[in-house]
Amino acid sequence: MSLLIQWLPLTLPIWLPFLVAPLVYLLRRQALPAALLGAATLAVVALWLVLRPPIEPMALLGRPLGLSELGRGLLVLLAGWLAFALLFFARIPQGWTAFPVLLLVYGLLAAALFNQQLVISVIILKLAWLVMILLVQAGAATNTRAATRLLVLTVLALPSFLIAATLIEQQSYQPDLAVPITWIALMLGLSFALMLAVVPFHAWLPQVAEDGPPLIAAWLVAGMGGSYLVILFELLGRYSWLAHDEQFLQALFAAGVLLVVFGGLLALSENHLGRLWSYVVLIDLGYILLALSINSTFARAAALFAIGTRMLSLLLSGSALAALRHHATSLHFSALRGLGSRFPLTILAFGFGTMALIGVPLTASFPSHWAILRLLTEQNNLWLWAVVIASVLGVAAVLRAFLVIMSPAEQADDRLETVTPESPVVVALLMALTLFSIFVGTAPQRFNVLIDFFVRSANF
């Protein structure tokens, strides 16, 4: 009983969302009360995480538990992300069950980050992934393509993660056994490639963006993907032999280049706005992996800043995409033509958020992307030109979509007359995110102290 009383205050980010989720479920068909209760819960969690002193590792039932500073920062960002999303759901529905299920998923992510053992963390993340499949399927009642791919992905990634975690522990606690680092790098690389949608394991992301609710797809990348990126970041900080392994760093570099190049090429050839968005997301992930492949403190700081701005850009572009799909019912270019006059500010927000994922100037991700390109220039890396050209192709793809949407319909279309106008509340939320993205992109120095703190806490 004393142990339970001791751990209850420390694990509030885990049990509070679980405790409130049933109440939110009862209110699920009353969007505004459900959104307000869920957002208030996440605000309490975020405030607790910010005000509480560092949590020292402790043992619970023989298992080491604790929360790193980087994990705490991620949970604060995710709490703010979800609070905004839940309020947005009140105006742009993404499924009635989204309110309680996302609270459950947040509690699972907190439990995974609180655990200090990679094996347990991965298993908990898999549980959260399985719960997310229910939300994706709720937005695609006529087919199961997206849900099936997510389920297959979970099954394929789990064995390699478990093998990698076992080998890492063996290398750390029994170095005399001389576990080949090549095998560890191979298993880790395969695991993260599957879960982060690295080419050629990326097919699930565009399918989810096409079939599932757009903001749920954005949460998969921001919440689930962000958790895996932080775990990768902490692994590189915790195990110097992994952070200095040339083969693993080369694999990260190759994956980064591949993501940027394929993302740019595939985005330019796409005629579905959701799938185009998903390919631009791959470009941003490529820049992060490129930064992690460079063994320097400045590169790690750029990667960490890129992970944070990625979440902001995903929230902005995903929210705007959800609003467009809600009003237009379809995201194919043929269905979007002529809608520019009806949703000018929503389309502007989508364009700005998507451009931010590429790293266009004045957007949130520009400082980190520019820093990563400078690092590649200093290394005289010839792949720099492939990265730059592919990024330009991504920009061209977004401009092409913008021109299609803003162009007049080819013939008289009664559908345009039945489309409801932009909601003032939705526009206000999107414009607030857009202005904040501009602030981050034009004043990145405001976050230098915070980034330095997290890089030092990860032992780099």
Quick one: pLDDT at residue 36?
A: 92
Give the residue-averaged pLDDT of 425-449.
92
Confidence tier at 336 by pLDDT (50, 70, 90): confident
195 half-sphere exposure, CB direction, 13 A CA radius:
31
Q: Which of the two residues, 351 and 65, has the higher pLDDT score?
A: 351
Confidence tier at 18 by pLDDT (50, 70, 90): very high
Please name the helix (run of DSSP H) or strand (run of DSSP E) that holds residue 248, with its range, or none: helix 246-268
Quick one: pLDDT at residue 59?
A: 63
Q: Which of the two residues, 238 and 82, has the higher pLDDT score?
A: 82
227, 110 Cβ separation under 8 angstroms = no
361 half-sphere exposure, CB direction, 13 A CA radius:
0
54, 456 Cβ separation under 8 angstroms = no
Q: Which of 164-168, 259-263, 359-363, 438-442 has the lowest mean pLDDT?
A: 164-168
Residue 234 has pLDDT above 80, yes or no: yes
Report the share of the chain in percent with pLDDT over 90.
39
Q: Read off the tokens for 423.
A: 């909601």
What torsion do the CA atoms of 357, 363, 365, 370 make, to the nearest 10 degrees? 110
Q: How many CB atoms lie within 10 A of CB 103?
A: 28
Q: Which of 164-178, 226-240, 346-360, 419-433 has the lowest mean pLDDT?
A: 164-178
- Total-model pTM: 0.92
Q: 427 by DSSP, 3-state: which?
A: helix
| Euclidean distance between CA atoms 364 and 61, whole angstroms | 43
Confidence tier at 419 by pLDDT (50, 70, 90): low
Highest mean pLDDT among 39-43, 49-53, 67-71: 39-43
Between the alpha carbon of residue 145 and those of residues 71, 98, 114, 136, 212, the distances in Å are 33, 20, 33, 10, 10
Between the alpha carbon of residue 361 and those of residues 315, 348, 355, 385, the distances in Å are 19, 16, 9, 18
Q: Phi and psi of 332, rounded to 5°?
A: -70, 145
Give the residue-averaged pLDDT of 144-163.
82
Confidence tier at 260 by pLDDT (50, 70, 90): very high
Give the residue-averaged pLDDT of 196-207.
87
Confidence tier at 240 by pLDDT (50, 70, 90): confident
Report the share of the chain in percent with pLDDT over 70.
89
Q: Which of the two residues, 256 and 382, has the higher pLDDT score?
A: 256
Tens digit of each residue's pLDDT (9 = 90 or more) over 93-152: 877 788 899 999 999 999 998 887 888 888 898 899 888 888 887 755 567 787 788 888
Quick one: pLDDT at residue 95?
A: 75
Quick one: pLDDT at residue 238?
A: 83
Confidence tier at 365 by pLDDT (50, 70, 90): very high
| Euclidean distance between CA atoms 304 and 302, whole angstroms | 5
Q: Which of 147-156, 178-187, 395-404 has the lowest mean pLDDT?
A: 178-187
Q: Read off the tokens for 319.
A: 């929210």
Between the alpha carbon of residue 347 and those of residues 314, 350, 401, 431, the distances in Å are 15, 5, 10, 11
Between the alpha carbon of residue 136 and those of residues 102, 209, 334, the distances in Å are 12, 9, 24
Please name the helix (run of DSSP H) or strand (run of DSSP E) that holds residue 262, with its range, or none: helix 246-268
Residue 173 has pLDDT above 80, yes or no: no
121, 129 Cβ separation under 8 angstroms = no
Confidence tier at 45 by pLDDT (50, 70, 90): very high
Tens digit of each residue's pLDDT (9 = 90 or more) over 59-110: 666 666 778 888 889 999 999 999 999 999 888 887 778 889 999 999 999 9
Give the residue-averaged pLDDT of 204-229.
90
Confidence tier at 297 by pLDDT (50, 70, 90): confident
- Look-up of token digits 């492949």: 293
| Euclidean distance between CA atoms 224 and 71, whole angstroms | 13
